[in-house]
Structures are given as C-alpha cells and as structure tokens.
Chains A and B, each alone.
Chain A
Amino acid sequence: MIVTTSPATISPAPRRAASATAIAGLVIAALVAIALPAFTTGYVIYIANLLLVFVVLCLGLHIVIGETGQFSMAHAAFYGIGIYASALANRAVDLPYPFAMLFGALVAGAVGLFIGALALRMRDIYLALATFAFGEAMQWVFANWDSVTNGPNGLRISPARFGSLEILSDKQAYPFVVLFCVLMIGLTILISRSRLGRAFRAVRESEVAAMAMGIDVRRTRVIAFGLSAAIAGFAGGMFGLFQTFIHPDSLGFQTTILVLTMVVVGGLGSIVGAVGGAIVFGLISEVLRQAPQYQEIIYGGILILFMMYAPRGLFAFIGDRIKEVRRGQ
C-alpha cells in the first residue's frame, strides 16, 4: 500500500465550500456588529446583545456535544447559575464587573464538574438524564430559594461597573458584550486546537482507542462537561452587563432546547457552526416571536428535519448543494 493504490478518497472540497459559506457569513456578521450602534435603535442593540450571549451559550454546548459527543440538558441551569452568581457578587463586593463574571463562571463550572463527575460514573446516557433532572431541579431552586434569588418575583440586577464607569444602557454595554463574545470565541478555538481539544474529539470518536493512547476517558468527559458549564456561566455574567432583571421562568428547559437547536442548525462539531447557528437561528426565533403559538412546532420540526436531512448543519448543507450544482454544470 506504500506503492500508492487508487486513492479512494473524497476530496475535502465540500467541507471547504461549507466553511467558505460560513466564514463569509461571519465576516458580514462582524461588520454588521461593528457598524450596528451607529444607526439603530436601542431595541435592536438589545437583541444584538442577547444574540451574542446566546453565541457564548452555544460555544459552551459545542464543547460538550460537538467536541466530546456527550449530552448536557442543563445548559439553561448553568446559564442561570452564572446570572445569579455574578449578579450577587456584583452587589456584594465593589470590584469591576469582570470579576463578578469570572465568579459566575467558576460557580457554574464547579457545579458542572460535580454533576458531571457523578453522572459519568455510569454509561454516558446517564449524563443526559441526570442533567435533564438537574435542569428541572435548578429552575425550582431559582424560583424557591427566596433569600438568595428573590424567588418567583425575580431578581433585580444592579448595573455593571468598570471602575468609575457605570453601564446603564444597552448601547453602553454593547462594546463590552462584543468584546467578551470575541474573547470566548478565541478561547474556544484555542481549547479546540489544543491537546485537550484533541482528547475531547478522540473520546467522541472512539473511547477504546483514546484509552490506548493514554487518555483518561472519564476525566476528559468530566472536564469537558465542567468547561462547558463554566462557559455557560460566563454567558450568564454577560447577560448581567445589559439586563436589569432576571426571572426564573426564562431559565427552563425551553432555553436549553433553544441553544441546542441553534447548535444543531449551525452544525454539530464545528465552532463556525455553533457561532453561525446562534446568529442565524437567533434571528429566526426573533421573527418567530410574532407567532408564539407556532414556536414549539417550528423548533421541534427544525430539530427533526435537520437530524433527518442535514445532520451536519445548515452551512455544510448549503456547501454540499453548491458543490452539487457546480458538479452538474
């Protein structure tokens, strides 16, 4: 075989076409993002802020589902832990807001490590179930731990401070939200390319082979889960940059499904997919707000149809079609 036989290889062209589509989209998105505050209203900025928070949530879910191939059904819970923890830290101590954000991420990550370490004692399917139950339980905690979360009345979030600068509007918060979002994208890329990221993918592709390469499979899975929870917690801190109020109702399974749908639409397993999916589907769901009674059917239908016909996501799907058309000519 060293004498080269017929290379039965499929050219990497569809992937390249897919990532070209996605990168073009991202560049446009970035330009729009920078130019945005100049000529839009506060509401649009608010939506943009929220969208960027969801980008970071998607990055977190990407680490656990996309890279490591395991489930987390409690992303809304970790997001919520991040929101409450950073809001409370911000209120308790007089430090610049990023410290509160880090605190939120650490608390969420620590809880994630604990749940992950427990659930991963058995086969990985338990992770899906245990996190599902954990998500429900956390929403209950948010709604009932009155002394900390102010229970079902919701918690007022005091404005974020950077030294003497106090953030009072969506427009003021926007550059910081963009900055933190870009930082998290950078961090995720770094992790994904690193030795740890390779271990994540090795575990996803073949546990036995990963073991033979000297990778501690269980530890790697727990780390992925904890890291993913920490990123979701960080997204919670970003939320506190521009939001003044949090209510437990917005931290339920619905939000987990929304993030999952975004990642699925963008394409499981690629960072570009996670980010692109958050933006594309975030905009779609904003439009869907006009017809709330169809929302569930559409989310569910999208999940099913993508799994059936485009499991690698929208961008890969478009890339493949482009390639087919080209080949047809």
Chain B
Amino acid sequence: MRLALAIGTFLILAIHGVVFYNQFSHRWERNQVAYFDQARSLAKSEAERTSLADRKPRIEQIVVTSFGETRVDRCTTCHIASDDPRFVNHAQPLRTHPYSPALGDLEKNGKWERRHKFSEFGCTVCHDGQGRGLSPEYSHGQDHYWPDPLLGYATQAGWRKDFLPMLKGKAYLEANCAQCHTEPGFRGTPTVERGRQLFFATNCYGCHKIEGLSDGTIGPDLSEVGRMWKVDYLWARIADPKSVLATSIMPKFNLKEDEIRALVVFLKSRKGKNFTETEIQRFKVKTAGGAELVQATLRPVVIKPGEMVAQGGKLIEDRACTACHKLGGRDGGIAPDLSFQGLLKDESWIFAHFKNPRSTVPDSIMPAFRFTDDEFKAMTSSLVSQKSVPPLGSPAATYQALCQRCHGEKGDGHGLIAEHLDPYPRDLTNAGFMNSKPFARLVDSIRNGVPGTSMPAWGRILDEAKAKELLDHIQKTFVKDPRKEPPVRQVDDKNVVAMSKESMDRGAGIFVARCAGCHGKKADGKGANALDILPRPRNLRNGWFVNYASDRRLAESILYGVQGTAMPPWIDYGLSRNDVGDLINYIRGINPKPKGDQNAGAK
C-alpha cells in the first residue's frame, strides 16, 4: 500500500516534470541560443561579444499596423538571423533572408540594403502563415484550420497528395506582392501577369466576374477568391472542377501545369480591397463596367482577309471553344458538336450567336465573349467551313452520330450535354407525346429544327427518306409502342380573335389565373410548379419559338393539352375558343418578332 503510494507520487512527479519540460523548454529558445553562440564566434570586436553575452532568449515580434488589420509577426523568434548578413549559407531557421534585386534590395560597396525592411513590413504580409505562432507547425500554417499557410512552402494534411509538388515554389509569393504592386505588367510579378492574360485568353472572364476586370455571371464571382480559398482548392477547381464539386458545370480546360499555376497565383492575388487602394478607388473599380475593361485587356488578332478560315480555326482552338464544344478530336462534353456546323447553320446565325448567344437561343448558357467583330467573322467563316459529316450508315448509326449527344443513348433525353441545354432535349421514350404528334410534324422538327432551342435543322444532312427511316428506328427502339396517328382536331388555322390591346389584356388575365402556376408570372416557364414537372413548361418568352409555332399549334396545345406532358386539355376546364384566342394574342404580344431566319441552314 505504502509502496504503491510512493510509486504513485513519483509517477505524478514524473508527469509534472514532463509537462513542465514541455511548457518551458522551447525549440525557439534553443534556436536563439544556437544563434548567440554562432554570432559570438563570428563577432569581430569585444564589444560585440559582450553585448551578445547580455542577450537572453525571448520572443521577438514585429507589430505591423500599416497593412490592413494589425499583424503580430513572431517569425524572427526562430528566424533570428534573417537580417544578419553573416548567416547567408547557414541552414534554416538560422539563415539570412535572401537579398535580391528582384525584391528591390540594393547593393552598395558589397553591402546589401533591403527595400522591404522587416521592421516595417513584418513577414506575413508577403509570406502568409500564422504570425503569432511559435512552433513550426502552427507558425507555418500547417494545421488544417489556418486559412493562409506559408505561400508556396507549407502544405496541409488534407490537401490532395498528387497536387502537393505543384503547390510549392516562389511563384506563389507573387500573389502577395500584388496586394500592393497592383499595376498590370509590374515587373516583379510575372506569374500574376501571365495569369491575368490567361484569365482572358482562356475565356474565364466569359463566366466569372472579377471586380474591375470582367462581368461574367454564369460562374461564381472571383473578386475575393484569394481571400476565401487556399491554393490547393484553387488548383483543384481549375485542374479538375468536378473533383471538388460533382455538380460543377465548369469545363475542364486543356491547360498545362505552368498555366494552371499562373491562374492559381493570379486568383490567389484577388483578395478584394488591396493595400494601396483608397476607398474611392475601390468604389471606382466596383462600379466600372467589366465589358469595356475586358475589351481593353484582350489583344485583338488582326484578321487578314485571305486567311479568314485558317485564322478563325486558330482562334477557336486558342480561345478554348473545345473546353465546352466538340470539334476536331477535342470534346468538352458541355455544348453541341461543331464538326458539321456549316451544314446546320448559316453565317448570319453563327455570327449573331457569337455576338450574343441568347439572341438566337434565348436560354443558352453560352457566355457572350468580347472578341472583335473581325475575330467573330473569322471564327464564323471557320465554322461555316466545318462540313465533315460522320459516315451515316444504318439509322441506328445515324442516331448515334447525330442525336445521341443530346437525346441520350437510351433516347430518354439524358444525353451527355442534355443538362446544359434549355429547353431539355425531348424524351423520345415518352410514347404518349411521340404518338400524339403527326408523323409529318416529327419529320419537320428533324429536317427544319425547332427555332429558339438547341435542336438544329438536319435538312442538309438527312433527306426526307433518311429522316423517316430515323423516325422509324426511334419508334421501334425508344418509343416501343406501335405508331398511331393522332386524331385530327377541329381547330381553326388562324386565330379567331383579332389582335388588339383589349384581347391581350383579357389574355393576360386568363394567363395569370390559369397558366402562371407552371409557366410563371413572366411566362418564362419558371412557375412555382415548374421544378416538379418534366418535360419543363415551355418558356413562352422564347420569341423564336413562339413566332415559329402556328396559331393552330398553339390553340391545339392549349385546348387539347399536350399528351405525355403536364399540359392539361383546357377545353375540359372551361376555356372557350375565344379565351384561347386571347391567350394566343397575349403570348404573341409579349414576344416581339425576332429578325432573321433560324432555319436558313437547312435550305
């Protein structure tokens, strides 16, 4: 009993001793003692030696107030020789911070003078890391919860292993240089500058907004991305977008390692307000129009009249069109195949689509890029020259070559790029819908396309016989039910109600009462119920489509419903022919007639 007590008390003493040792013996103290010893042996005068003898280890800190919030940098507690030029060739932590003309340091009579004095700038302004930390793990920001690990030096345990080697290097420090040296083309930050060029050259600006640089709206705003994310995340987001977020629609760009690094460094330097900006400058940046700035940054290519096609092809390749589209062996898997665009669309359509994609396909997600008209013209002529039809053998092969990308292998409308199209590709296994439309109309949709949607006119590739063969194949393989011709309904070919303000007002009233639940108050197909419905309610603000659909078709769809969809037969719910006439007038009235011809490619 007494023996156990005695052993117990000694155990407690031992634990106490270990805790005591851990708490009061610091690695930085040993570093400082080592520094004093070495400095004493290097000392040239007796005075120097005695002054060193007086010094005891203590926490050294630099308090920096001129860069944002107050920083307390205790880095020099371990890196105590960082400003002692005699320690150039020593090992870390007792090593002189390198002198370099690139940092603005000056050499005078063999002695260097720093441009960025540590007493003024501290350490974390340039290097990041946790200034107050006193152990390597914490001060270098290696614990998972520290947002700013030492740039280009420290990595964290949770980072993807295959990216670790790429996330090291001095280039990353430029992101912090750029917090003060903001001027584009600053000599000390070539990687930031390269990233800035790439941001425009690879069309990042089309989707992303950065205050004062671009105004894309499809992707997230990147104005403060460097403050919010660590370099590993930025790298993963660019190198492999889906690895971070499975639902990301960002394309995987065909970038080399050094290009990704430049982009990461550039994005890391986007931290919102930088150190040299005043509030009024910040306000100006925030309110500046992105479009003009993009125009000013892009370097337009001079197009020679004789080489339009070749130069346009090069532009299409250089500007990463294949990050989304399919062309010449590359496939981004997001947007339509351009390999035979010349057979589907004509020059004016392609040019208009380039200038403003939504002018031709109102719900397109394609960004409006800011190239010059000459460049667009060259790219257009290059696309018009794309006429390589894949070999069309059996109808099954034709389906695979032309239709599968959108309508899907199983014909269910879930093709590779379907989720990026609006309206969604038609579900060809929906027998109710397929058998409710006359055969002639299905042939027409294939040969002449559906204006305002992503369905192109295949007329130049598929003649009438081929289109019919294809439809037979679809009927057998996907629809499965035998073909039934729908009954011919008693519907007027022309709207019975004349177009007038009063008719439109009546139509608007009926629309709000009966249609807005699914088609939305704005008639844009985004009503409260829209998300529960597949196929989605038609966007009735799609001028191309509304203009293409005949009065007869609209009236029939409203009165007798659309089989296989959620559109009910309104004749059963008390809508008269005159009510439907008012509705048609309302729908036509809110859609100005678009200029041009969507199906020109087919003719």
Chain B binds chain A: no
